[in-house]
Each structure stands twice: as structure tokens, then as C-alpha cells.
Structure 1
């Protein structure tokens, strides 16, 4: 007779192999079994059938509050579930991508997840003001922007930990932004590998290769994910893309057509606000790119 199913939480994912944390704090190496289990993601609550001392099969994935995906040139992949907030790490140097930051924000808002931005490496004084100016549009969207240097561990913890306590936060960042260094500051003992960015190419190299959930000593959880150089949104519907640009919302009721795409339609409230300077041209241009990419099935940026 099989033993009863036990609840657990996925804390690490490697393909279709998962590490599941049980209620007593122990961990089991698990794999999904049957259609009900489906594909799990880090942060999922699951029911497992224990097997042996430290293994098990995932029999079901419990209902999720949300699920985050991202796409690359080959596929769309789910990678985190039941997230309260998205912690997007950018840096003074190397140069961060406004396009990737905008896509990450859109992905968060489309899933009703609150985004926060961390500007890292503020000790690079000569480039700090330029980075701040590039984040001005983000600040106008009421997104909190926290300035830290991961090299000043005590100050970084003091700045960030109060906003992470009691929540599940997904740590996301373009490669080279110092995300792994910041993780090591926030979660002593995480021992995430770090690597200097390539100054010649002005870009980072991937150091995190899988998604993993860590418990913060002061309470709350932090999910670390691989650094990215692309953040696709091919899984989003037209309405979900629209939701990823919340500054459009006050102007949509003024649109003449109920199915307005806010691109070239006559009587569009969003385009009117754009013309009046009430919506950022760069943000609207990003919206238009995402819509067209999804319509054409493109996976390149």
C-alpha cells in the first residue's frame, strides 16, 4: 500500500528533476509522474509520494497564485511560481539594457506581481548619474528603485531586507549586474558563484545555471534565477501585454474601439496621451515591439 501523499514546496529545478522541501525541513529529490503532476516550477506547492529515504514522485501541483515564464530563441519556459514581488537587478556598470528591464517589468505586471528595481554598484561614482537618469522613467511608474553596492554588505542588507521580509521575491537580472554577489550578501551561505563582467564586451557572463529558492535569515524567501541576455514574452496574450504597461490603463477608456491595440487606430486614448507627453515614447515603442513580435512569432530582439 502506498503511503499518503505529503505536501512540499519545490525549491530547485533541474529539467524534470526537482528538489522538494518537506514540512519538517528535509528535502527529497523528486520527479513528476502522470499528467496531473505536469511541469513544476520553483515556488510550487506540490503533493509527493515518498520513495525510499530521500526521493519521491510529484503526484500533483497545487493551484498557483501566479506563474512566471520567459522565452529565448528556442522555447518558452516556466521558471517560478507563487511569487509576491520581482526584484530586478541592474547596475551602474556594465551598461544595463533598457529593453530587457522594460520586458521584465511588463512580465511582472502582466502576472500581477509587484516589481522592485535594485541599482547595484553605486560605488562606480563616475557612471552613477547616467544610470540614475536612465531609470527616471521607471521611477515615474511608481516602481521603487533601491540604490546599493553589494560590496558594502551591511548597507545593502539594511536597505533591502525590510522589503523582503515575509515575502517570496524572485531575483532577476541581466548577466553581469552583480546578482550573485547580492544573493551572497542577502543569504549568507548561499555560496552563489560570481564572475567579473567582461569589460571588453561590456556585458556579463552567466554564473547561475538553475533556479533555486533560499530562505532569508530574517524571514521571507528569495528565488535566484539564471542571468539573462534576452527576456521573451511570447506567452502573453494581447490583453496581458496591455496589462504589462499600467500607465496605459487611465487612457484606455477613451479609446473609440473596444479591441483597440493602441498602435495606429483612430480615436485611441493611449495614442492621444502619447502625443500629449503623458506616456513615455520609449515605453510605447517597447509595447509596440512586443505586440508585433508576438503577432509574427518572432523570438529575436
Structure 2
């Protein structure tokens, strides 16, 4: 009987999948009927030739991050993530709508969300400080860092330890410089994966899992800026706003849209100043976007 090995998916590379088995990278294909695997997936595989294998089984996931694909379909980006760090900065500009979108997904996907305010050495407006205050009062951990000055990087390293992590955020907020600060030999590791998989240069859109020097893993996914509200219902979007959760059962109607409905407890909480008006307005915008 062929021996089954346990492996960790490091990256999905076009036709091949890089899987780590006992500290060695094996280039794998998957069995025909297996669903799409993603970085962070745990799998069972057989070795078919030196350095080559075939994935036979996908093990259960405790979380999955997807992005929109053709039509109404979605495609897995990364699996078994424990924490998503939402990275933002004053430059290019703070997109709080996008931040709220990420947080809503995390609330529904069994993933802890944490916030990284990068380029924290730059001047901050009162508006941004007020928004940051709202998030911390809701219980979201906030890290003020500067990849440029190495400010706050040590605290960030501690938060990443023993977890599978991923950074998300719009382009230009400094995700790459943060990743490079945390994984000094990132290019070397990337090239190793490319050589083994004979893909020459590593594809820039593939999510790739890196082991962090102090323990824990970081999935680097250039395409993660586009994981949308794919797969969320309107009810789940409302649940994704943490401060709404206590009021959802108090609405007069079970299918309350929290827009103009009679007896909406969420709207009353907004009017009474218990829920941030700015967050509520962004909820309405995301609802329209869906």
C-alpha cells in the first residue's frame, strides 16, 4: 500500500502546488475530483517520484478566505488563517469602507481581525484618530507601526507568533515593506520555491506561506486586496458589524434590513449615539455594493 504523507500547502502555482513535507518542498498535482486547495491547507499526499507528489485528500479547514471569481463563483485565497491584519495608512488615504468590509468578513469567517496603522510616523488627522478610537472601543487590537523606522515591529512580531496570519489592505499602504521587515530572507525563500517548481519567476498573484523567524506563519497574497463580500448574505453583513450584534434580535422584524424598517433597534442605537453614525453609513454603502 502506498504511504500517505501529511503536508502543508505553501503555494498554488498555476499547474503545480508547492507542498511542504518534513521541511522539504514537493511539487504536487491534485486528484481530479478534489476541490481547489489554497495556501495554508493541510493535505494528505503520496510521493510519485523524487520531489513530486499527488494530493489525495484535503483535510478539514477551520477558516477559509475567498475572492470573487468568474460569474458568481468564488476562489479560495488562503485556508486555516487564524488572524487577518488589516493594514492601512494616511497615505494613499484611509479607506474605512474597505476596512469595515474586511472586518465584516472576519466576523463571519471564524478569523480574528487586527488593525495595523502603518506609516504611523506621519501626521494623523482628528477624523482618523476618532475612527481609530471607535475600533479600539469595539475591541479590535490596533498596532501603530512604521516599517520605515522599525517602530512597533517587535509588538507586531509577538502578535504573529504561533498563528497563521495574512495581511490585507489596499495597495500602497506598505504591506510589502512590512512583510520584508518580518521576513528578511523573503526573496531567497520565494526563489527557492520557484526553482523547485520550475516556474522560473514566482507568480506575483499566488498566495505564498512563509514561516516567520520567531514562529508562526505569514501568508503573503498580493491578490488579497480584492477579497470581496463574496458569499455573505445581507444578514451576515449586519452581523459583521460587531456593535450591531447586541441589537439584531431586538428588531421588530426578523428580516429587518436596518435601513428604513419600522422598529429597527440598530437605527435607534445609531440615533442615540450608541453606534457610530459613520460606521452605520458605511454599512449602508456596503449593503448597496452587495
What is the TM-score when the length of structure 1 is the normalising length? 0.83
- Greater CA drift, 132-141 or 88-97: 132-141
Question: Which residue of 2 is the match for residue 269 of structure 1?
Answer: 265
- Greater CA drift, 7-16 or 243-252: 7-16
Question: Which residue of 2 is the match for residue 241 of structure 1?
Answer: 237
- Flag the 1:133–1:235 CA change in 2: closer, same or farther, 3 A: same
Decide which of 143, 147, 158 is 1:146's aligned counterpart.
Answer: 143
Q: 2:20, 2:226 → 1: CA distance?
A: 30
- Flag the 1:128–1:151 CA change in 2: closer, same or farther, 3 A: farther
1:156-194 CA-partner distances (Å, limit 9, x unpaired)? 4312111111111111121111111111111120139xx
Question: Which residue of 1 is the match for residue 283 of structure 2?
Answer: 287
Decide which of 238, 249, 254 is 1:253's aligned counterpart.
Answer: 249
Matched position secondary structure for 1:135: helix
State the shift of 1:93 in Å.
Answer: 1.6
- Flag the 1:239–1:51 CA change in 2: closer, same or farther, 3 A: farther
Q: How many residues align?
A: 275
Contact in 2 for aligned 1:16/1:39 (Cα 8 Å): no
1:228-283 CA-partner distances (Å, limit 9, x unpaired)? 66442031123322331121111122111222222222111111112212112232
Q: 1:289, 1:76 → 2: CA distance?
A: 22
State the shift of 1:139 in Å.
Answer: 2.3
Q: 1:129, 1:242 → 2: CA distance?
A: 27
Q: 2:113, 2:232 → 1: CA distance?
A: 18
Q: 2:125, 2:14 → 1: CA distance?
A: 39
Question: Which residue of 1 is the match for residue 120 of structure 2?
Answer: 122
Q: In the alignment, is residue 54 of structure 1 matched against residue 51 of structure 2?
A: yes
Contact in 2 for aligned 1:213/1:221 (Cα 8 Å): yes
Matched position secondary structure for 1:10: strand
State the shift of 1:130 in Å.
Answer: 5.7
Decide which of 59, 64, 72 is 1:67's aligned counterpart.
Answer: 64
Q: In the alignment, is residue 169 of structure 1 matched against residue 169 of structure 2?
A: no
- Flag the 1:52–1:156 CA change in 2: closer, same or farther, 3 A: farther
Q: 1:70, 1:26 → 2: CA distance?
A: 29
Contact in 2 for aligned 1:16/1:32 (Cα 8 Å): no
What is the TM-score when the length of structure 2 is the normalising length? 0.86
- Which ranges in structure 1 are unaligned for 5 or more consecutive residues? 193-206, 295-301
- Flag the 1:176–1:208 CA change in 2: closer, same or farther, 3 A: farther
Decide which of 35, 42, 46 is 1:45's aligned counterpart.
Answer: 42
- Flag the 1:283–1:71 CA change in 2: closer, same or farther, 3 A: farther
- Flag the 1:91–1:208 CA change in 2: closer, same or farther, 3 A: farther
Contact in 2 for aligned 1:120/1:148 (Cα 8 Å): yes
Question: Which residue of 2 is the match for residue 209 of structure 1?
Answer: 205
Q: 1:95, 1:72 → 2: CA distance?
A: 27
Contact in 1 for aligned 2:143/2:152 (Cα 8 Å): no
State the shift of 1:128 in Å.
Answer: 6.4
Q: In the alignment, is residue 226 of structure 1 matched against residue 222 of structure 2?
A: yes
State the shift of 1:293 in Å.
Answer: 3.5
Contact in 2 for aligned 1:13/1:210 (Cα 8 Å): yes
Q: 2:276, 2:135 → 1: CA distance?
A: 10
